[in-house]
Structure 1
């Protein structure tokens, strides 16, 4: 329309006809007479719509991720993969390095990834998921051992009255 030298009023009306959904709702919230040219409309629209854009993250962002001390390895893997998925064109070597860097240095997986550094990202995640299964098994084993070792918190009636000469029928 600009090439055909259409007037501002016509360009504004035609532009509004192209809007759908939230963009159209936004247009109808503009106060009557608040836009006096197509240039103003284009500026207001661009200003409104750019606030909805997500900021593109740089692959370096992955180096800020760290496995939390109370976080399972499986949860760290999921969180890392989700963050990586938001970065377009992230190099696998960078992602592999960042994933390893986010692990505590004393973690067995960190040691494994240091010993075999030339793995692809898929191989890193496969190795990490094997370690996560092992971690889950160790945690479950610790919990079951603790439950077996704990004494019964409620003593039976017979034991609590032993030696007091009181007979309690069962």
Structure 2
């Protein structure tokens, strides 16, 4: 990549291709023509994500989060992870507390608790796929955890 470091348009495209959902939302919220160079882009990114110039959200912002009526699991989990990524110390159980008591994923997390964020994300992905299948009318099968 060092060979292309003088090619700013290419560097910007490569930079963008490596952004996750939270960083991409930040990028999409930038005002049009507010960034004039790759260096300015990386500085803006650094000031937002690397230097922790923003005050971390309190745990209460995650604890008060819940799925909205009619909201998909995907939308809820996207909101959850965005807040989660802005926090210093959180418990995995906060995700579960935002789900209705009768939600299949909540029951699964209660019956077979996860011990890491990776396990939680895997379990959420299973239930998102099931939800998407149900929304597309492909079936009502239950996810085995």
With normalisation by structure 1, the TM-score equals 0.47
Secondary structure of 1:124's counterpart equals helix
Q: Which runs of 4+ in 1 moved over 4 A?
A: none
Gap regions ≥5 residues in structure 1: 1-52, 143-170
Within the alignment, does 1:66 sit opposite 2:66 as a pair?
Answer: yes
Larger radius of gyration: 1
CA RMSD across the alignment: 1.7
Give runs of aligned pairs for residues 1-170 of structure 1, distance below 5 A. 54-87=54-87, 89-91=88-90, 94=91, 96-141=92-137
The Cα offsets for residues 8-51 of structure 1, whole Å up to 9 and x where unpaired, read as xxxxxxxxxxxxxxxxxxxxxxxxxxxxxxxxxxxxxxxxxxxx
Instruction: Report the Cα offset of residue 58 of structure 1.
Output: 1.6
Is residue 73–residue 128 contact of structure 2 (8 Å, CA) maintained in 1? yes
Deviation of 1:60 (Å) = 3.2
1:70 shift after superposition: 1.1
Q: Distance in 1 between matches of 2:56 and 2:89?
A: 12
The gaps in structure 2 that reach 5 residues or longer are 1-52, 139-145
